Amino acid sequence: MFGNGSRSFHFPSLCNNIGFLQKNNNVDDKSRIVRFFNDQQPRSILTRDNERDPRFRRTETDFSNLYARDLLPAKNGEEYTMQFLLEVVDILTNYVRKTFDRSTKVLDFHHPHQLLEGMEGFSLELCDQPESLEQILVDCRDTLKYGVRTGHPRFFNQLSSGLDIIGLAGEWLTSTANTNMFTYEIAPVFVLMEQLTLKKMREIIGWPNGEGDGIFSPGGAISNMYSVMVARYKHYPEVKIKGMTAAPRLVLFTSEHSHYSIKKASAVLGFGTENLILLRTDERGRVIPADLENKVIDAKQKGFVPVFVNATAGSTVYGAFDPINEIADICEKYSMWLHVDGAWGGGLLMSRKHRHKLNGIERANSVTWNPHKMMGVPLQCSAILVREKGLLQGCNSMCAGYLFQPDKQYDVTYDTGDKAIQCGRHVDIFKFWLMWKSKVCVHIHEIRTSAFDNVLLMNQSNPQHTNVCFWYIPPSLRLLPDGEEKRQRLHRVAPKIKAMMMECGTTMVGYQPQGDKVNFFRMVISNPAVTRSDIDFLIDEIERLGQDL
């Protein structure tokens, strides 16, 4: 049952995570939607939402004759700087309020050409004359107005969603500190926070005493790339100096359902995408271990060298968890590096109830884990964790003299920048550290429980993760016999509904084909603000928009 008694939500035998959505009751009429948004009028920046609250009251400043040059470091710029920043904060806190307000739209969609032509009072063009601070404030407000509220409880479109207030505060502070992770010298507190947090993450993975190594990177794709690089360095360290031609023909393995970043890494690093071998999956999207072993044997017989296996913990579309222990057995048998891509599913390690899905992760040589997904940390926050210490440094170190002077007065092992493929590196740790301090133990468990409860509502008897994949079958297709025509028509349903949904702006959900399956919706529940009513709302919207297709 789906939401209420008038709905049915069927799962085909082929995949527990894909279902059919049908509904016969009347659709909600347009007036309800219109009612939601009829008070969403653009406001002058001088309008004050906050006047009821004396803490937010500000004297009026005329920004129309003030310019960036009047702000700090300008002489006497402090007063204007504070007034300007407070005005920006007013815009931002209004946005935060509305993000959590279900009577606001998720987005106010415009086509690229419309935004490029310019909306009233808002031009994206870079002009030759400086604009006043008043216009800059209008630009800030309009940028938010025409954007997408990824923190809205009815945004189900991506794996990253939600707007965590502590994380937001952390990111505001990070921007204000505006420093760089490459040396302890200029980021002492952040470097130590990163070290302590990575150790905690390794403990949670289950590596003895949390030993090992790691670094925060600009995202899961780069973290996965690190894993392939470090595996290559472990097995063929001479590649660093001599290049890929110094190694035999190396092959990598990953699920046909794995994230495309593994394929990107094989291209970027010089392995070549044809040397990435895709593994077959079962009906729930999990790698079939026997297929891995067969393909390893086959590759060896061809004279290739199997070197790296990626196991996905929480696949992008289905949310599937590959069987890590069985894959680890094969990796040990054939001396291959085992990487676990837990970008999406790594957050379940924090959950007593769900961590069993990652059983065996302690046997991995490396792990990708993105706190900016299931754990709700603002973008970007992704960690690559490596079991063996020294490999990251050995693989990437170039010992730049102007940053990593050996004759500093402090313990230079804290200068971790040379482990990275980057030079300057954004501070991604603080927001995560602050969120952890403020709530992580209780919070993560709660998110997990509530998100999974929401999935259970949708009659998924044994959900792997909080992805819910389904087709909506419009009335016109219900009586059609199965076959190519029905498939082709069904393939066009999700894009059409999604297009109308974006024009309405009331909610957002993703869709895609996968393998031989035509376009289906993928709803992702990771925002703790989502309630049962929001899920009902999405389903209502899909039915309302799709009934006449």
Contact with its own copies (CB under 8 A) among 34, 173, 290, 456: 173
- E strands in 379-498: 382-386, 467-472
Which stretch in 347-355, 383-391, 508-516, 535-543 sits in contact with its own copies by CB under 8 A?
508-516
Structure tokens at 480: 């059609």
Q: Could you identify the residue written with the tokens 């009429």?
A: 29
- Residues 99-138: x where in contact with its own copies by CB under 8 A, - otherwise, as a string: -x--------xxxxx-xx-------xxxxxxxx-x-xx--
Structure tokens at 349: 């390690």
Restricting to residues 366-395, which ones interact with its own copies according to CB under 8 A?
A: 372, 378-380, 395
Helix axes 133-145, 78-99, angle to 10 degrees: 10
The answer to whether residue 495 forms part of the interface with its own copies (CB under 8 A) is yes
Q: Which is nearer to its own copies, 358 or 381 (CB)?
A: 381
Contact with its own copies (CB under 8 A) among 229, 279, 348, 392: 229
The answer to whether residue 440 forms part of the interface with its own copies (CB under 8 A) is yes
Give every CB contact of residue 131 below 8 A, 6+ residues apart in sequence. 67, 139
To the nearest whole angstrom, how small is the minimum distance from the Cβ of residue 390 to its own copies?
A: 16
Q: Which is nearer to its own copies, 8 or 426 (CB)?
A: 426
Give the length of the chain.
Answer: 549
Restricting to residues 275-334, which ones interact with its own copies according to CB under 8 A?
A: 275, 316-317
Rounded CA-CA distance 165/7 in Å is 36
Restricting to residues 12-41, which ones interact with its own copies according to CB under 8 A?
A: none
The answer to whether residue 421 forms part of the interface with its own copies (CB under 8 A) is yes
Report CA-CA distances (Å) from 263 to 221, 266, 342, 347: 10, 5, 16, 23
Q: Which is nearer to its own copies, 1 or 116 (CB)?
A: 116
Rounded CA-CA distance 139/116 in Å is 14
Report CA-CA distances (Å) from 187 to 194, 414, 430: 10, 10, 11
Restricting to residues 39-58, which ones interact with its own copies according to CB under 8 A?
A: 53-58
Contact of 19 with 517, CB cutoff 8 Å = no
Q: Which is nearer to its own copies, 7 or 370 (CB)?
A: 370
Restricting to residues 234-273, which ones interact with its own copies according to CB under 8 A?
A: 239-246, 249, 259-261, 263-264, 266-273
The answer to whether residue 86 forms part of the interface with its own copies (CB under 8 A) is yes
Contact with its own copies (CB under 8 A) among 2, 9, 253, 433: 433
201 HSE (CA, 13 A, CB side):
32
Structure tokens at 528: 């703790």
Which residues share a beta bridge with 2? 4
DSSP assignment letter at 286: -
Q: Which is nearer to its own copies, 365 or 416 (CB)?
A: 416
Q: Which is nearer to its own copies, 105 or 259 (CB)?
A: 259
